[in-house]
Structure 1
Amino acid sequence: MLIVGAGWGGIQYAVRMIQAGIPAQKIQIIDPAATSICPFSEQRDMYLGIDIPAVRRFSTGVLNRPKLPGVPGILDYRGEMFHTSCWAYDITGGSPKDPSLDKLNNKTVAIIGTRASSVQVVPQLTRWCKHLYVIQQTPAAVDIRDQRGTDERWFKEEVDRCEGWQRERMKNFNEHFTLGDPPSLNLVDDQWTRAPSLVGIAGNSNGPKLPSEIVAYTSKLIKIDTPRQNRIRAQVDKQVKGPVTAEKLKPWYPSFCKRPLFHDDYLATFNKDNVVGNEEYKADIIICATGYRSPSTETHAGKANLAMIGKNGVSMSTEWPRQSGLGGNYAFTLGEYAKHAAYILSEAKRQANGKPFAVAPTAEAAENWAQLVLMNSAAMAVIVGCTLGYYNLEGELALLPVEYQAIAAWSTLWGTGMEDWLDVIEKWRAVGRMDGIEVRI
């Protein structure tokens, strides 16, 4: 078995396949990260040919194609510059095991971007560099992280008390994304579970079913979200001393329009004398914290920068709709994908009875599933009018021609939420007939 991708998904697929009876010695995991090639600096069109009986599984992730800022001539720049996804320790000093960025002493650094990567990187850079200039397009909505230690005794007595405790907590987490009454007990009790408006990116079984209901639904989410964003803007005033800087750091968009961020040191960093934002300055080093290409713009093969050619020479990149697969708990989603794939493989092996086989969905089943996704997609349409970002393809989602809107809807999340999606696939497995799956012997 070949698994493409050695991240969270690849590891979980390997574990589930071993549980399904595949010997560990017959599983190979490949990942381009092992080649030490930065995707944006040296793109390679890879062709992977396999001429032996094998099972291939793509687990190529969603945020894995770094994006450079759209500045004319940036690829011609010859100064010291790198993307946060491929950290240049030869420029900054330090290593994956040593956080001492000692080569930044007496250096002026400019970091472009103020989203998830930058929020984590900025506080660290200020400890080492002479000056840090933060180049911002849209302020990050940074809530408190409130990280706490885990009491071992409490964990054993209150959490790890019976088999299935992790699934219980996952279910409780998922059920907090609702506009109805959440569970009376909050087992996770983090900032995600205290932000009901995040159903805008997590899905909602009580969301709109028709396009005509989307505007009213969006207004409802904004109204629910306003107290949270007001609190976050007040937090900026509380932590940032300079009123001019504080105003520049305030987010004026709904929580569901951007990936929620949580950090206890980021805002206070702008009180330091060596941090400046939103001006033109000379810099020794440029760091691009500009994120990744939208996960909805490519297929699994495209995300891996591979050409995946199937039966009759059909390319995965032209046959399959683009897919995203993000959610409130992405690692959990990957685990459920892996479990589902392992079930299909186990049943296919049983039906093949030792003979070589191939597994594929029927054309009818693929079409039916696409229609189910489409029918449940209205709740996810709130992102269309959001601030530019990878959720809405940097604003291009609203500009799609009518004939492409259905394709975009097919590529979105399951609009009625994680638990509803799990209910659908678990019931399918419980029937045990592999409906819609062909095992070709």
Structure 2
Amino acid sequence: MVLPSAEDLADLVFKEFRQLPKTGKPTTNEWTILSAIVMHDTAKGTSKVVAIGCGTKCVGKSKLCSHGLILNDSHAEVLARRALLRYIYHLLKRVIEYSDEGVFQWDSENVCFRIRPDLNFHFVSTQTPCGDACIRNEAIEEKSTKEEHIINDEPTQPKLKKRKINKENDENEDCAPNGDDNVGALLEPSPNDAVYTGAKLIGLTDQQDAMEQKIGAVRTKPGRGDRTLSMSCSDKLARWNVFGMQGALLDILLAHPIYFETLNFVGCAENEAAIRRAIYDRFIGKQFKTTKYKIHKPTIRFAETVKFEYAENYNRKNPAPTGISWCNIPIDLKPYEISVNGNKQGATRKKFGTPEAAVKISKYNLLQEFVDILRVEPKLRQKYRIDSKELTYLKYHQYKQLAREYQAAWTLAKQNYFSQWTEKPPNLLEFSLDA
């Protein structure tokens, strides 16, 4: 199977990004991070960008929304993946309403959707994912080739040279490129030192250091101020690499999980071993036996000949405050969205906490997309014994529990792989569309 190169994919993504509206993009002194998802048709030999996300912010624990209306995590990788979910829901609706089976096909016998076997997905990003993938050290990497690293390893810690940074008065969590996460102190690059991640360790005592550069550990997003409950992008990519990027709700509708065929990064080639460790190597040797999910091993590649025009440099010193998401759906559905602090840009403070201020990729609106599929396909309602009158009343967590195999596998994975994955307060999952 011949796949497009990392350079070809990155070039395709950047061309698509340039065609998006200028509104919301960084100004002349601002930088951002871009992530995207490309769908490749092996039968036709064609590729197209289906989702894009740009952003560096993450809201703190105190600002989480119990109605699913605010984006908790606006890092580029997460926005791109949520935009992909919106794209998939659009395609599933087209299968039901117009019998459009260009990407997904309806399996009437098993009451689910199947993706065409000659299609695959590729992830592109302009930076190394925050968290474990940023921690690079020659001595530790040499050791990791001889040992299996798991979540609770206690390896020798690399020594870090630190320098002061300019602290901004910003309530949001930031993530800077190349592991420099703008948290109190950063790595002063040195050939013998590790790349520093500002992502924070979980479940520590008062005497332990949340910034300890512990190889293989799960972390929450980097930043200052009100600590976030969102996991690092390294950990989220690792989870998608086991369960697929579709998540629990779409898992209910799809026959199989959707995995990335390749992970492509612009630059960052020196972090290859750390990225590989963060995505799957740290889990090798741990038991995980399910019939539906697996520890996938995507090909990790690097694009060295292309540049992102909004990358951080001496002219672009400040992280852009906006999050951008786009997916490849008709323009009348408003595929391009801009968010600030997790809300739709332009929403007045009076509208905060209402669906009018929520972007289309928020939990609330993606739940709406899922319910719309159930509403138009009675066989799905019959399969899960849902009365049409209940659709808007059932809680978000009740719908997620319908993915029984997914939830059982996730429970197993938390025991063996993600033992310290953060648990958000239960009230954040109690919303319904009728609220």
Q: Which has the higher strand share?
A: 2
Instruction: Select the structure of larger CA radius of gyration.
Output: 1
TM-score band w.r.t. shorter chain? under 0.3
TM-score normalised per structure 2: 0.24
